[in-house]
Amino acid sequence: MRIADLAARTRRQLSAWLLAMALAPAAFAAGVDPDLLAALAGDDSQARLEAVARLGQQAEPAAADVLEALNEDRLYATADGRVLIDTGGGGARDAASGQELAAMPGDASSVTINNRLRRAIGAALAGSRLFSPDPAVRLAAAQRLSGGADAALLPTLEKALADERHPAVRQALQVAAAKLQLQSDDPQVRRRAAQLLGETRDAAFRPVLAAMLAQDGQGAYAEPDAGVREAAQAALRAIDRHLATIEWSGNLFYGISLGSVLLLAALGLAITFGLMGVINMAHGELLMIGAYATYVVQGLFRAWAPAWLDWYVIAALPVAFVATALVGMALERTVIRWLYGRPLETLLATWGISLILMQAVRSLFGAQNVEVSNPAWMSGGLSVLGGGLVLTYNRLAIIVFALLVVFFVWLLLNHTRLGLFVRAITQNRRMADCVGVPTGRVDMLAFGLGSGIAGLAGVALSQLGNVGPDLGRGYLVDSFMVVVLGGVGQLAGTVVAALGLGGVNKFLEPYAGAVMAKIAILVLIVLFVQKRPQGLFAPRGRSVE
């Protein structure tokens, strides 16, 4: 913020303060001053902002209530000038008098706000929330203020700091105060403030610290004191080091999360390809069916069990698995089993099936995307590295889920009879047939398994992006690449290939852009396959084919 801007805002804020002080006795009547409410419900933005600021200065809860209601779209104005708060369940409260009403009058219209007002309300509420009895609320308010507060709030901050005992809140208040203290007249105060800000390692303070080191035309620094400049310089270095760590860790996380998505998408394909040598071009559509199954389950939960809505994803997992497994097995029985030994024809036939499935979904659910919302426990993210990096919950959940699925498949393949048969057939189909493995049935079950896993992947994908008839197409080529790269018959191949591709993609992306990174990866795979046609983890053996 430039000094001139700051000065202007301070002047405005100060005048608002003075006005508030003057009006304070009047405002201590019951309820909230109707003039302020009228200004809030009116059209003049400046008046609304000032009304919000003034309401923020007032200590009593009625004012805070009005501000909160306004923020949540619960403030209404009637034609006769009353301002009402929606108390939920159809009831209303008159903001000026505090009187309860049985019902919201029909002619009441919502008082709309915009982003600028929202910011102002946030700041106003933060000032009063600094004194809330709940430490979590105080912490949030202090953090909000460290993001951007007016110098006029400095006395309030220092007052709060004097009484604060909670360590985290104290820390946040100190940071907020430090940011404002950068404008202090005392160089010692400024130096300490700069040091403190550097210790937070928060990139948000970078511009204000860098501004202190800016030089004007004659070479004079914005910050006159050399000691303060040194502190600012050190702070900037610390922040930049931290930024580099954040970027690197960020890329690592993004790479792993992209890799886990690829892994889920490709795992089913790897199983069927490894087992039967068929490339299932309808694989993308199996992903889509899994995603739509999630949508249907969500709809059912909304209609019949809204209290449990947050857990519909868990319920969708078995539903999607069974649905896609059934579709897969039907596919295998009706089309694929007649095409044994002819992998290229299978490719074409499954492509035809994919077209039919896509159009069927379009006819049933419409060509538009359908809404699948993240449950509450999958929204938001985990803030690490001092808030510089957010590990979003939905992606974390998907990473964990991918690991679980891989474990489940490993367990199945290595510790069950079916898995034993599958491995036998993968190694040598004829021999397995000779020793009595029921190849027909195992084929069907394995195809069902691969499809079911695709369904599970579809559930995960529904949480990340769009759910529409085209969902599968976007992942088809990627799944192929993972399978071709990872080699056939080994679970480890698919895992390594998926994670590797995700990681390389994400590390390339900041330098080359999303498109070139993707192209580079495709070209790399094409070249790699020339060198090692069998993939990373090739099956050992001396067969010529």
Partner 1 sequence: MNRTLNATLGAPPAAALPALARRPLFSPRAWLALAAACALLALLPLLNLAFAPGHALHVSSYAVALLGKFMCYALAALALDLVWGYAGILSLGHGLFFALGGYAHGMYLMRAIGRDGVYQSDLPDFMVFLNWKEYPWYWAFTEHFWYAALLVVLVPGVLAFVFGYFAFRSRIKGVYFSIITQALTFAAMLLFFRNDTGFGGNNGFTDFKRILGFPITAPGTRAALYWLTLAALGGFLVLARAVTQSKLGRVLTAVRDAENRVRFLGYEPLGFKLFVWTLSAVMCGVAGALYVPQVGIINPGEMSPENSIEMVIWVATGGRGTLVGPIIGAGAVNGLKTWFTSVFPEFWLYALGLIFVLVTLFLPQGIVGLARRLYARFAEGGR
Partner 2 sequence: MNRRLVLKQLTAATLLAASGWMPQAMAAEDTIKVGILHSLSGTMAISETSLKDVALMTIEEINASGGVMGKKLEPVVVDPASNWPLFAEKARQLISQDKVAVVFGCWTSVSRKSVLPVFKELNGLLFYPVQYEGEELEKNVFYTGAAPNQQAIPAVEYLMSEDGGGAKRFVLLGTDYVYPRTTNKILRAFLHSKGVKDEDIQEVYTPFGHSDYQTIVANIKKFATGGRTAVVSTINGDSNVPFYKELGNAGLKATDVPVVAFSVGEEELRGVDTKPLVGHLAAWNYFQSIKNPVNTAFIDKWKAYAKAKGLPNADTVVTNDPMEATYIGIHMWKQAVEQAKTTDVDKVIEAVGGQSFESPSGFTVTMDKTNHHLHKPVYIGEIRADGQFNVVWKTKGPIRAQPWSPFIPGNEGKQDL
Q: Is 514 in the site for partner 2 (CB under 8 A)?
A: yes
Q: Are 40 and 66 in contact (CB under 8 A)?
A: yes
| CA neighbor of 30 nearest in space, from 94, 100, 97, 81 | 97
Q: Decide if residue 363 touches partner 1 (CB under 8 A).
A: yes
What is the total count of residues that contact partner 2 (CB under 8 A)?
60
Among 222, 300, 326, 335, binds partner 1 (CB under 8 A): 335
- Binding of partner 2 at residue 183 (CB under 8 A)? no
Report, in Å, the least distance between residue 516 CB and partner 2. 10
Binding residue for partner 1, selected from 480, 507, 538, 539, defined by CB under 8 A: 480
Question: 24, 344, 376, 400: which one contacts partner 1 (CB under 8 A)?
Answer: 344
Separation CA 543–CA 489 (nearest Å): 15
Question: If you search the block for the tokens 């993001």, which residue do you land on?
Answer: 147
Closer of 411 and 523 to partner 2 (Cβ): 523
CB of 485: closest distance to partner 2 in angstroms? 19
| Residue 362 binds partner 2 (CB under 8 A) | yes
Quote the DSSP letter at residue 468.
S
Residue recorded with tokens 């970027």:
247
Residue 185 burial by Cβ neighbours in a 10 Å radius (0-12, 13-18, 19+): exposed
Three-state SS for 390?
Answer: strand
> ∠ CA(449), CA(271), CA(321), 5° rounding?
25
Are the C-beta atoms of 201 and 213 separated by less than 8 Å?
no
237 binds, among partner 2, partner 1, none (CB under 5 to 8 A by kind): none
Residue 336: which of 277, 287, 290 has the closest Cα? 277
Tell me the H-state helices in 58-166: 61-71, 115-129, 135-147, 154-163
Binder to partner 2 among 9, 12, 192, 206 (CB under 8 A)? Answer: 206
- φ, ψ of residue 109 to 5 degrees: the values are -115, 150
Residue 373 vs 416, nearer CB to partner 2: 373
Q: Does 349 bind partner 1 (CB under 8 A)?
A: yes
Q: Which residues does residue 76 pair with via DSSP β-bridges, in sequence order?
A: 84, 110
Q: Does 518 bind partner 2 (CB under 8 A)?
A: yes
Residue 41 per-residue DSSP state: H
Q: Which of 450, 212, 149, 196 is nearest to 326 (CA)?
A: 450
Interaction partner, residue 335 (partner 2, partner 1, none; CB < 5-8 Å by kind): partner 1
User: Is 399:257 a contact under the CB 8 Å cutoff?
Assistant: yes
- If one asks whether residue 466 binds partner 2 (CB under 8 A), the answer comes out as yes
Which is closer to partner 1, CB of 323 or CB of 484? 484
339 binds partner 1 (CB under 8 A): yes
| Least Å from the CB of residue 371 to partner 1 | 24
Binding mask 135-174 for partner 2 (x = CB under 8 A): ----------------------------------------
Token representation of residue 411: 């367990």
Cross-strand partners of 391 = 382
| Residue range at the interface with partner 1 (CB under 8 A); choices 10-18, 158-166, 190-198, 519-527 | 519-527
Q: Per CB under 8 A, does 515 bind partner 1? A: yes
Cβ atoms of 94 and 86 within 8 Å: the answer is no
Residue 406 has a CB neighbour count (10 Å cut-off) of 20
> Would you count residue 353 as binding partner 1 (CB under 8 A)?
yes
Largest CA distance in the chain: 98
DSSP string, 188-225: HHHHHHHHHHHHHT-GGGHHHHHHHT-B-TTS-BSS--
**Under the criterion CB under 8 A, does residue 512 sit at the interface with partner 1?**
no
Q: Footprint of partner 2 on residues 474-513 (CB under 8 A)? A: 474, 506, 509-510, 513
The reply on whether position 504 binds partner 1 by CB under 8 A is no
CB of 512 to partner 2, least distance (A): 11
| Token digits of residue 509 | 């992306």
- Among partner 1, partner 2, none, residue 122 binds (CB under 5-8 Å by kind): partner 2
By CB under 8 A, the residues from 274 to 333 that bind partner 1 are: 277, 279, 281
Helix/strand/coil for 382: strand
Residues in contact with partner 1 by the rule CB under 8 A: 277, 279, 281, 335, 338-339, 343-349, 351-356, 358-360, 363, 476-477, 480-481, 484, 515-516, 518-519, 522-523, 525-526, 529-531, 533, 544-545
Residues in contact with partner 2 by the rule CB under 8 A: 45, 73, 112, 114-116, 118-119, 122, 203-204, 206-207, 243, 247, 250-251, 253-254, 257-258, 359, 362-374, 379-381, 383, 389-390, 392-395, 464-470, 474, 506, 509-510, 513-515, 518
